[in-house]
Structure 1
Amino acid sequence: MELRHLRYFVVLADELHFTHAAERLHIEQPPLSRAIKELEDELGVVLFDRDRRGTRLTAAGVAFLQDSLRLFTVLEQAWENVKAVAAGLRGSLRIAVSDGATDPRLSEFLARCRAEEPEIEIRLSEVPLAEQLRGLRSGDFMIGFAHTANVGGGIVAEPIWRDPLVIAVPARHELLAHKEVTIHELGGHPLVMCDPRVCEGYSRELVKLLGPLEYRQNVVEYVTSLDMMLTLVGAGYGVGFMAATKIPVSQRPDVVIRPLAVESAIITTYLLRPDNGDVSASLERFIVRLRDGLGS
């Protein structure tokens, strides 16, 4: 079995169209068809159903695609590692961050890791939660940070940091009459919320917190960043939410921060990792260093 055959198979499985796949591979369609036929003959299975309605993966094709993708992930990791070694490093850690789960503690921790083990390359990717979970299961990412423990099977969610949620209020607003704001006092007020497609886990937790409002929620805008939320709040569009750790980077004359008068108004940052026991020595040191820092 040639690696070329596997690459052709993966591209065709993605396109499900021989002409488009051939164009993407920069080859003619007949060589692609021959390569897929050779691969099917070698495996002794049919990978694609082809008829007038188009091209579809068979059940065997779906299973083989998952294993092929894992193989290419391993090859990519090997390529990254050998480049790191050639550059004087001893490997790399691939970390995903979702839900805006970044704050000074993460920066300080990463700086400590780089100082203590400069020979380990740390690569961060900011991705939506669904992409992080797929990457953790496929091996694209070794660990991740997110604001939810509702991540499905095969992944361990370990709480790392817990922070109070606060609200951002326009500088002139009736809610500023309260030193602390209850959930019910938010009812009916326009809300500026994080786009759930970008901050899926964070949005889930916020929706649970706002559950008592039921149909009194009045979401007027969805945003994809803290800066945009503060901009709209400052302009009077509505009230926004954020973790208390973001207050130092959120100081604006047109926005006032108020705590929520709810004991459960907490946002938790979770460390996510695959539940397969396959932990490299460098990753184990990373996790131990993170846990040790919780008590400092």
Structure 2
Amino acid sequence: MELRHLRYFIAVAEEKSFSSAAERLYISQPPLSRQIKQLEKEMGVVLIDRNQRPLKLTEAGVFFYEHALQIVKNSDNLRTMTMRKGAFDGSISIGFVGSILYGTLPRVLSRFSKVYPNIQVKLHELNSWQQTQALTSGKIDVGFGRLLFDDASVRRILLREERLVVAVSADHVLKHRDTVSISDLVHENLLLYPKAPRPSFMDHILKLFSDRGIEPSYFLEVSELHVALGLVAADLGITIVPKSLEYLREKEIIYLPFEDDLLTSPVIMNIRHFDKSELLETLLSIIYQIYEEEDVTHKREQI
């Protein structure tokens, strides 16, 4: 069984037609049919019910299709990542979610550039899900996000858990509180961001509510962080942000800490599995150096 057999089978399974699959693969139908029959003979099972129109996968065929997809995806990713390694162009491409820029990332990048003055740093603003796709496609070499996703080709290094704070206007009824609980926010006009693409930081905040058996009475989805803060400043709602953002619009907005220390947002470094390049090791080492210098609670791992 070769990779081409898997690609042939996937095409037939998705097109539900030998003729359409042949067109998609730019081959004629007879050899495609022979290849699928050869595959079934080698497997010792029928994968496609040819009596159905459109074609339908057997139970074994469904199982084979799901695993064939993963094998082909991993093969394509391996090829892309190897080409990226072999064609190193003197640069490192970094993906990041917007809120990370308000933390230590600028200082990390500044110090990294001093260590490697001849390495060009290319930045891409991508949400956590987009970073996964960009890593496996070779678009970026490392990503910094806030959401965990399971993907066999990507390793997540949890750098730290950053505490969350509530942003309210200077005229809000909660402004004199030393701390707030998440239940205090149930009946507030909660502004969540970003609206798209999903899943996003918005989903993380909603999960914090649901994990505690409560849900906000009303929330408004807005496009991005700065829109949410602008509406907060106008006293049109409240929002929740990582603590590192609490200096934004500080003349108009008051940031209140939560009573619950577990209300946090993770800061995650995303890399390809088994990528142990010197650049990535140095980047992670610099992150830990800065955390220690600034007395930031963090977790330490090795690449």
TM-score (norm 1): 0.69
Give the structure 2 partner of residue 127 of structure 1: 127
- Answering whether residue 198 of structure 2 is matched by residue 198 of structure 1, we say yes
For the structure 1 residues 201 and 190, does the alpha-carbon distance in structure 2 shift closer, same or farther, using more than 3 Å as the test? closer
Give the structure 1 partner of residue 168 of structure 2: 169
The DSSP-based 3-state class of the residue aligned with 2:111 is: helix
Give the structure 1 partner of residue 55 of structure 2: 54
For the structure 1 residues 233 and 23, does the alpha-carbon distance in structure 2 shift closer, same or farther, using more than 3 Å as the test? farther
Give the structure 1 partner of residue 284 of structure 2: 287
Percent identical: 20
1:237: Cα distance to partner?
3.4
Distance 2:137 2:16 in 1: 21
The DSSP-based 3-state class of the residue aligned with 1:173 is: coil
Give the structure 1 partner of residue 298 of structure 2: none
For the structure 1 residues 6 and 293, does the alpha-carbon distance in structure 2 shift closer, same or farther, using more than 3 Å as the test? farther
1:240: Cα distance to partner?
0.6
Contact 1:95 1:141 (8 Å CA) reproduced? yes
Give the structure 2 partner of residue 38 of structure 1: 35
1:64: Cα distance to partner?
2.8
CA RMSD of aligned residues (A): 4.4
The DSSP-based 3-state class of the residue aligned with 2:292 is: coil
Deviates more, 1:179-188 or 1:219-228: 179-188
Please, which runs of 5 or more residues in structure 1 have no aligned partner? none
The DSSP-based 3-state class of the residue aligned with 2:165 is: strand
State the Cα deviation string for residues 70-105 of structure 1 (Å, max 9, x = none): 121122223333443xx4x2xx65655459544342
1:232: Cα distance to partner?
3.1
Q: Which amino acid aligns with 2:253?
A: V
Give the structure 2 partner of residue 230 of structure 1: 229
Please, which runs of 5 or more residues in structure 2 have no aligned partner? 294-303
Aligned length: 283
State the Cα deviation string for residues 208-254 of structure 1 (Å, max 9, x = none): 36865825x22321234102212333444321111121234x3176x
Contact 1:96 1:126 (8 Å CA) reproduced? yes
TM-score (norm 2): 0.68
Determine which of 233, 237, 257 is the counterpart of 2:254: 257
For the structure 1 residues 61 and 191, does the alpha-carbon distance in structure 2 shift closer, same or farther, using more than 3 Å as the test? closer
The DSSP-based 3-state class of the residue aligned with 1:52 is: coil
Please give the residue correspondences for 1:1-296 in structure 2 after superposition, counting only pairs within 5 Å.
Answer: 27=26, 31=28, 34-35=31-32, 37-38=34-35, 41=38, 44-45=42-43, 49=48, 50=50, 51-56=52-57, 58-84=62-88, 87=89, 89=90, 97=96, 100-117=99-116, 118-119=118-119, 124=124, 126-129=126-129, 143-148=142-147, 157-194=156-193, 195=195, 198-200=198-200, 203-204=203-204, 207-208=207-208, 214-215=214-215, 217-248=216-247, 250-251=248-249, 255-264=252-261, 265-272=263-270, 279-296=276-293
State the Cα deviation string for residues 240-285 of structure 1 (Å, max 9, x = none): 111121234x3176x41222241514333133456x6553444333
Distance 1:47 1:104 in 2: 56
For the structure 1 residues 272 and 2, does the alpha-carbon distance in structure 2 shift closer, same or farther, using more than 3 Å as the test? closer
1:187: Cα distance to partner?
3.8
The DSSP-based 3-state class of the residue aligned with 1:64 is: helix
Q: Which amino acid aligns with 1:269?
A: V
Q: Which amino acid aligns with 2:221?
A: Y
Contact 2:93 2:140 (8 Å CA) reproduced? yes
The DSSP-based 3-state class of the residue aligned with 2:244 is: helix
For the structure 1 residues 266 and 104, does the alpha-carbon distance in structure 2 shift closer, same or farther, using more than 3 Å as the test? closer
The DSSP-based 3-state class of the residue aligned with 1:237 is: coil
The DSSP-based 3-state class of the residue aligned with 1:268 is: strand
